[in-house]
Amino acid sequence: MELSPRRFVLLLGLVVGVVLMLYRLFEAAGKSVEVAVAVAALALLVAVYLGTGLVMLRAARDQRARDLLQRRGYVPIFAMVATPLILIAAHPWGVATFAVGGGAMVACQLFLHAMIVVAAVRGRFNPRSARPPRG
């Protein structure tokens, strides 16, 4: 998808506007809401990456899992982009929020890369995985 410079600036302005609106909304709602939103965003990020990693392992042997992985391919990317924006808007722990969020994102990426390696090794060294299912 190719974005023209004009649309890119419009999209960037929209994102900044939404983040500022959420910032004001969370600030007005109070500290407990900020904490709940930040924890929910991090939990959702971890759940998305865990689910994607497990589907990747199944995709080595199952065509339905490969189709599911292709359909949901953009979900981890969306989670990776949306989580920092939500954490910027909520920021319940100050700078520590960004450290925790960054650490969670790096850990999720490392997990996903490990699942890619495991799926590749399982597919390469397991001769049964290369055969089509019987029946």
Domain count for the chain: 1
Span 80-112, pLDDT tens digits: 889 999 999 998 998 999 999 999 999 999 998
In a domain, residue 135? The reply is: no
- Give me the domain span that covers residue 10: 5-130
Q: Between residues 101 and 73, which one has the greater pLDDT?
A: 101
Residue 108 is encoded by which pair of tokens? 């999720």
Residue with tokens 């969020």: 101
Q: What's the residue count for the chain? A: 135
Q: How many other β-carbons are positioned within 10 Å of the β-carbon of residue 101? A: 22
Tell me if 86 is assigned to some domain.
yes
The Cα–Cα gap between 8 and 129 comes to 44
Q: Is 97 inside a domain boundary? A: yes
Query: What is the model's pLDDT at position 131?
Result: 54
